[in-house]
Amino acid sequence: MIYPIIKALHLVFVVLFAGGLLAGAWQLASAPSTSAGTLRNRRQWHRRVTTVAMFGAWSFGLMLAEVGHWFPAPWLIIKLALVLALSALHGVLSGRLRRIEASPATSDDTAFPWAGMVILLVAGIVFLAVLKMPAT
């Protein structure tokens, strides 16, 4: 019974985390035409919701792996690498959002496909988690 509960909590945080990352990527792209107050509100969301969701997704994900005895399945190791990349991307977005809020004129991120990277990484993670491909 505990496994489905942990899985549900993990998924709740994953959805919030992925949604927050996409919103952060969109925020970077739209920063030059956004007021300072809106930038501040959006970064607060990024810090209070997306960052908390990331820590929640990690915590319950690691619990799932432990309770489900998934270590050291190859698909999980690859998934962890993608999660690490996604977390690093979140760190990059957080830093850039903070910088843009503090100094809006410095925005130089509008051309980089942050959202595309988020979508690719999330898609890879979801496929690995659902298919759980065994080692051949």
Partner 1 sequence: MTDTETSTRPIGMVMPVDRDSRGYDVTASGTLRTSHPKGLKALRLCSILEATTLVVLLFVAVPLKHLVHLSVAVTIMGPLHGLAFLAYVWAVFDTTSNMRWKAHEIARLVLAGFVPFAGFSTGRYLDKVRPTFAGRNAG
Q: Stretches 1-9, 32-40, 76-84, 126-134: which one binds partner 1 (CB under 8 A)?
A: 76-84
The answer to whether residues 59 and 12 touch, using CB atoms and an 8 Å cutoff, is: no
Q: Are 100 and 121 in contact (CB under 8 A)?
A: no
- Identify the residue among 5, 84, 123, 133 touching partner 1 (CB under 8 A): 84
91 belongs to the binding site for partner 1 (CB under 8 A): yes
Does 36 interact with partner 1 (rule: CB under 8 A)?
no
DSSP secondary-structure letter at 111?
T
Are 64 and 21 a contacting pair, CB within 8 Å?
no
Piece in contact with partner 1 (CB under 8 A), picked from 5-13, 36-44, 95-103, 126-134: 95-103
Identity of the residue, 63 or 126, whose beta carbon is nearer to partner 1 in the bound complex: 63
Instruction: At 38, list the tokens.
Output: 């809106």
